Amino acid sequence: MTLLAMLLLPLIAAALSVLPRMRPAAPAFTVVSSATALILACQTALRITAGASAVTFRGLLSVDGLGVLIVCLVSLVATTAAVYSWGYMRITSAQQPARLRLYYANYNLFVFAMLAIPMVVEPTLVWIFVELTTLTSALLVSFENTQVALEAAWKYVALSLMGAAIALLGFLVLFAALQAAGGEPYTWEGLTRAAPRMPPALLKTAFALILAGLGTKVGLVPLHTWLPDAHSQAPSPVCALLSGIETTSVLYVILRLLPMLDASHFSGVRNCVVIFGLISVGVAAFLLLQVRDYKRLFAFSTVEHMGIILVAAGLASEAAHYGAMYQILSHTVTKSFCFFAAGAAVLTVTTREIAAVRGLVRSSPAAAASLLLGGLAIAGAPPLSVFVSEFLILKAGLAEGRYVVVGFLTLFIGIAFFGVLLHINRMVFGRRSDGSPSFRAESPPGAAARVAERPTGLPHTCGLILLLGGALVVLLGVYLPSPLHELLRLASHGLQR
Amino acid sequence: MSDPPFTAALESLNALAGGLFLLTAFAIVATRQTRSCLLLFIAQSLLLATSAFVLSVQHQSLHLAAVGIVNLVSKPIVIPWILRRTLSAEVYARREIDQVLNIPTSLLIALALAVLAYFLTLPILEGVAPQFRSANVPIGVAGLLLGAYTLTVRREAVPMLIGILAMENGAFFAGIALSRELPLIVELAVASDGLVLVFVTGVLVRAIQQRIGSTRVGELISLREESAPDAVAE
């Protein structure tokens, strides 16, 4: 019942946002529905950590440890991004308030689709909700209606849908494999039970198709090309959702397949997953060095982190899987904060170009401080949470004796650390070569032209979210509450047989 | 069912549908006119529905008949209607003069992809029960690959969209040949998902047309790492 309520809340909010008379209240509905969903999600998580093996609703919806972790994170980012949107969108779309209806309707539908992915038990329905996340977020990516935003949205839709069609065949082959094994329902659990009896050729083909297809949506190299475009051109709260949690919730579907492959003893598949992950981490680390746009910087860092999670999930030990779950948590919290910080910077300097922003700490201390914290946190500086999770993964890798993997991973993480902080440091503390300390205001690219008369101060809701988000980023690095630890431990069981 | 000529007729009908399905996939790669692309897609969906009906009789499965009916209603009727509502008629009259590759080269690559699809599906066919071993699986996978290829070489938005839809057709063509009890709710949801897909992309393409004055989305290449962001400012 709780699960159904969580799914209905965003749908109701979406319906209310569409009504013309409700327009001024749409942000409030969105915040209330997301916050209620967050409370319900935490409640469900507590029930699971207290010992319930799974919370289900009539055999249609069900969450276990891994599922409820994703549900909690989706509703967390949905809530913070909704509060952030309230102030942010009012400023950025001050000239077309009517379009806000479209924004909030799509926003809630997007949240609905993401919440449904970990809840729905039937894999083909999961595929449909993955597809719906693309379709509902496409118009959010193109929301600013500039040429570049439309281009990004088109690339996003075309590549994601191409991947989805490949994954669809994968799911149909998986279903055929299940029927060949016979006797089990078409759910994740049934699949895992039936896996040892499935024809190996079918299972392997299905996994390859789903990995390639959904890997496009997750942003795994070589099919990542749309990701930095879409994740940088969307309005900042949407970027926080896309980069912070959407990629992870799709990655969740791939992670669900791993226990099945273990069950049929393909030792090679986990190695394949590790190699895929390492390639993503490596390519993203080098691309990070040469970005020109600070939102793209964070977008490439998402590709890197998805790779790290995949590597950790591909390792065999329980400790590595715990690290993967910790990484999912820390990435979501930190990356969404990074995009909130980037949004604050966009509001104050009206450009996304790294080269145009110098000495932000002197012109806008709040944006500079959050950008610096976000940069440090996402790059993995101790004692923040990304550092802890990456450290756990490396340690687990060493304990397993995977020295080559750990070596490459450390190298790439190091390069990415350098890349992120190089750019952030220049933006925050750098001086312009002509000596003027502030940003270059005369070159507004893209969207900036129509927002030239923006007030420079941050809206209150944005400031609030930056404060809360920053506190959460710091806190999770030094202190992990015991229910949360238990939740991560239970979630990591979802990666094992 | 026991009547041998009837079974043989069904099998040849299925084979005919499969052959024509592959042919439409090739034709979508080679056609320049947007309107003919759409007509070819409709023909392809009808062939998919035919194959679903034939398989439903062969395997005596109501689910597959439902797949056929859903395809018959949604793809040839509703999808073109949505496209017509969201996009202006001018888009259909377009001819694509230059694709990324010229058409003979394209067709050669498409042929290579079809052969590749055959070899890719050999292990699948070895894994399934004998009654599912048919030419439909390699043909469907070929349809999927050719759709993806259409998506890469086209520059106009609507033919690209049709490439995506053709990929889904291919996936279904192979998928329904592999198993018989696909849950109905899934089929309904997939079909409605196709409608949402067409609606959203249609709205997006209209926005692109209004903003940029063209639907040649293949020429939108300003978002790159190398080019300076100043180049994209309007």
Query: Hey, which residues 178-197 in chain B have their CB within 8 Å of chain A?
Result: 178-183, 185-186, 189-190, 193, 196-197
d(CA A214, CA A169): 12
Contacts of A467 (CB under 8 A, 6+ apart): none
- Pick from A332-336, A461-465, A476-480, B213-217 the range whose average pLDDT is largest: A332-336
Which one, of A327, A428, A411, A446, lies nearest residue A376 by Cα? A428
Q: In chain A, which among 99-138 make CB contacts under 8 A with chain B?
A: 122, 124-125, 128, 131-132, 135-136, 138
Q: How confident is the model at residue A42 (pLDDT cuts 50, 70, 90)?
A: very high
* Per-residue model confidence (pLDDT) at position A181: 85
pLDDT band for position A441 (cuts 50, 70, 90):
very low
Distance CA A57, CA A153 (A): 35
Q: Are A172 and B167 in contact (CB < 8 Å)?
A: no
Does B122 lie at the interface with A, CB-CB under 8 angstroms? no
Q: Is A146 close to B211, i.e. CB distance below 8 A?
A: yes
Report DSSP state, residue B95: B
Per-residue pLDDT of chain B (234 residues; tens, 9 = 90+): 557 788 888 888 888 999 999 999 999 998 888 888 999 999 999 999 999 999 888 888 888 888 888 888 888 889 888 888 888 777 777 776 666 778 888 899 999 999 999 998 888 888 777 777 788 899 999 999 999 999 988 888 888 999 999 999 999 899 888 877 777 777 777 788 888 899 998 888 888 888 877 777 777 777 765 544 443 333
In this complex, the residue of B123, B175, B220 whose CB is nearest that of residue A172 is B175
**A169·B140 Cβ contact <8 A:** yes
Whether A444 contacts chain B with CB within 8 A:
yes
For chain A, percent of residues with pLDDT exceeding 70: 94
> Which residues of A are less than 8 Å from B157 in CB distance?
154
Q: Which residue of B has its CA nearest to A156?
A: B201
CA–CA gap between residue A366 and residue A458 (Å, rounded) = 9
Band of pLDDT at residue A433, cut at 50, 70 and 90? low
Q: Is the CB of B11 inside 8 Å of chain A's CB atoms?
A: no
Please name the member of B189, B225, B232 whose beta carbon is closest to the beta carbon of A128: B189
- Compute how many other C-beta atoms are within 10 angstroms of the C-beta atom of residue B200: 22
Digit-coded pLDDT (tens) for A142-162: 998 888 899 999 999 999 999
pLDDT 10s digits, A169-211: 999 899 988 988 887 888 998 998 898 888 888 888 899 999 9
Which is it for the CA torsion A356, A362, A364, A365, positive or negative?
Answer: positive
Q: Does B128 touch chain A (CB under 8 A)?
A: yes
pLDDT range class, residue A138, cuts 50, 70, 90: very high
Q: What is the mean pLDDT of residues A286-291?
A: 91
- Residues of chain B with C-beta less than 8 angstroms from the C-beta of A142: 204, 207
**Contact across the interface for B234 and A155, Cβ inside 8 Å:** no
Statement: residue A445 has pLDDT above 80: no
CB distance A158–B203 less than 8 Å?
no
Q: Report the residue of B178, B192, B206, B212 to disrupt the A interface, i.e. the one with the largest count of A CBs within 10 Å.
A: B178
Residue A120 sits at φ, ψ, to 5 deg, of -65, 135
Write down the pLDDT at residue B84: 84
Query: Measured between CA atoms, how close is B64 to chain A, in angstroms?
Result: 13
pLDDT beyond 90 at A363: no
Cβ contacts of A446 on chain B, cutoff 8 Å: 229, 232-234
Nearest by CB: A151 against B167, B223, B225: B223
Nearest CA to A246 out of A385, A396, A134 is that of A134
Q: Cβ B232–A445 below 8 Å, yes or no?
A: yes
Among A110, A128, A296, the strongest candidate for a mutation testing the B interface, having the largest count of B CBs within 10 A, is A128
B219 touches chain A (CB under 8 A): no
The pLDDT assigned to A447 comes to 43
pTM of the predicted protein model: 0.92
Please tell me which of the candidates A151, A165, A200 has its beta carbon nearest to residue B222. A151
ipTM value, please give it. Answer: 0.90
Residue in chain A closest to B191 (alpha carbons) equals A128
Q: What integer is the mean pLDDT of A112-135?
A: 93
Which residues of chain A from 286 to 325 reach within 8 Å of chain B, CB to CB?
287, 290-293
Q: Write out chain B residues lying below 8 Å of A131, CB-based.
A: 193, 197
Query: Are B204 and A154 within 8 A, CB to CB?
Result: yes
Alpha-carbon gap: A454 to the closest alpha carbon of chain B (Å): 19
Contact B182 A172 (CB under 8 A): yes
CA distance A209 to chain B (A): 11
Instruction: Write out the DSSP string of B23-46.
Output: HHHHHHHH--BHHHHHHHHHHHHH
- Residue found by looking up tokens 């790669």 in the block: B29
A16-25, A292-301, A401-410: range with lowest mean pLDDT: A16-25
> pLDDT value at position B224?
66
